Amino acid sequence: MQDSPEVAVVQPPAPSFYEQAGSWLGEAVPYLGSHRLLGNTLAAWVVAAAAVTVLFLLLSAIRGVLLVRAKALLERRPTPAWDLVLRLVMKTSVLIIAAGAITGGVRGLDLPGVLDRATSIAVIVLVGLQAAIWATVVVDWALVLVLSKHAKTTTQAAETTLKASMAAVRFLALLAVYSLVTLIALDNLGVDVTALITGMGIGGIAVALAAQRILGDVFGSLSITFDKPFEVGDFIVVGDFRGTVETIGIKTTRLRALSGEQVVLANSDLLASRIQNFKRMTERRCVFAIGVTYQTPLEKVAAIPGLIREAIESQPNTRFDRAHFQKFGASSLDYEAVYFMKVPDYNAYMDTQQRVNLILAERLRDMGVDFAYPTQTLYVVKQDAAS
């Protein structure tokens, strides 16, 4: 007699908490267990609603605890990282809490396709909005961190320019973040985003090419603000243009020229040029030359460099470098002198040079030495008529 084959007995899955709670409520209130709505008993709907409410309150309580803990940690350790954590917790809105509560609350329901799809869409939209809020917090936190680092080293005008530049960067960063969040949300909703990404890529290239100069000027403004090759109030020379910096804007920098007119230069052009910043001079090197006549006696020729040195060293804020009988000129004996002004102010330099010139004019007059000026001597030779 052959043994009969064993038959595997499949145990039904254990009822879930929602099913147990729904069965218990249906037995306690027969009306809720016998009537159905959208494929589920009223008892199941009541249990789901209760689950959503409990989860919402629980997640809200967790958020409150995290908020208190983050504030306490920030007070004990005031670091940028904890500041970011606190900002993120504070900006965790009811959107993400509602999305989590809905996701967990409706798990025990057998929803129709349309309603299940609508629930999924609502959750994706809520999560996307919360992600956008968090992204905004991170971008703003980073910009505030940059501003705070430069607040103590920048002037009020530079800080205003930095804030304006940061506003442009914030717009571009948030535009990129929101576009990414939107594409992810659409992809999760079942939308084919391949063609959309391709179109956005082509459009982005076109926009970037069209706005290339504008974006270059915006980032040039940031480079000027951070690197500080010059600041408002500095006297600079850029190519053929020279003047005092009045404003540093998002797109242009404006100079007030010595002749009075305003010169407007694009920030990108400024960064591509060689800039001379005279405001940051610590010393000014001064070179001047004089010439005396060829009739000057040799002992006086040798004494003139010493006179020049005495005249320079008698002036305040000067540092003598050298004075020499440089060369035999076309109509003069030429001297060259070099000294340094310890203050960079141009008016102070001109006042000092004027006093040095007056002293030299007086001393050379007392010595009987004349300054040379362009002259020509014509020698006429009379030839013998017989020759």
Q: What's the distance, CA 27 to chain centroid?
A: 67
What's the pLDDT at 137?
82
For 297-351, what is each residue's pLDDT tens digit? 999 999 999 999 999 999 999 999 999 999 999 889 999 999 999 988 889 999 9
What's the pLDDT at 314?
94
Question: How many separate helices (H) and strands (E) can be counted in the chain?
Answer: 12, 10
**247 φ/ψ sector (left φ>0, alpha ψ -120 to 50, else beta):** beta
Reported confidence tier of residue 355, pLDDT bands at 50, 70, 90: very high
For 228-238, what is each residue's pLDDT tens digit? 788 888 888 88
Q: Are strands 241-248 and 36-37 parallel, antiparallel or unpaired?
A: unpaired
Ranges in the chain annotated CATH 2.30.30.60: 230-280
Q: Which two tokens stand for residue 281?
A: 């001079």
Return the closest-CA partner of residue 42 out of 32, 31, 56: 32
Q: CA gyration radius for the chain? A: 42
CATH number corresponding to 284-367: 3.30.70.100
End-to-end, the C-alpha distance of the chain in Å comes to: 166
- β-partners of residue 286 are 339
Residue burial 89-102, b: 16+ Cβ < 10 Å; e: rest: beebeebbbbbbbb
Tell me the C-alpha distance between 86 and 30, whole Å.
49
Q: Angle, to 10 degrees, between the axis of helix 17-28 and the axis of helix 42-76?
A: 130
Tell me the C-alpha distance between 124 and 119, whole Å.
9
Tell me the C-alpha distance between 290 and 336, whole Å.
7
- The answer to whether residues 275 and 230 touch, using CB atoms and an 8 Å cutoff, is yes
Tell me the C-alpha distance between 126 and 120, whole Å.
10
What's the pLDDT at 296?
93
The predicted model gives 77-97 an average pLDDT of 76
What's the pLDDT at 385?
58
Indicate if the pLDDT at residue 377 is higher than 60: yes
Ranges in the chain annotated CATH 3.30.70.100: 284-367
- Residue 53, classed as helix, strand or coil, is helix
For 252-301, what is each residue's pLDDT tens digit? 888 998 888 888 888 888 877 888 888 888 888 999 999 999 999 999 99
Tell me the C-alpha distance between 180 and 201, whole Å.
12
Contacts 24+ apart (CB under 8 A), 22-31: 22/47, 22/108
**Predicted structure pTM score:** 0.48
Q: Which two tokens stand for residue 38?
A: 């959208």
Q: Which CATH topology does 230-280 take?
A: SH3 type barrels. (2.30.30)
Tell me the C-alpha distance between 54 and 306, whole Å.
98
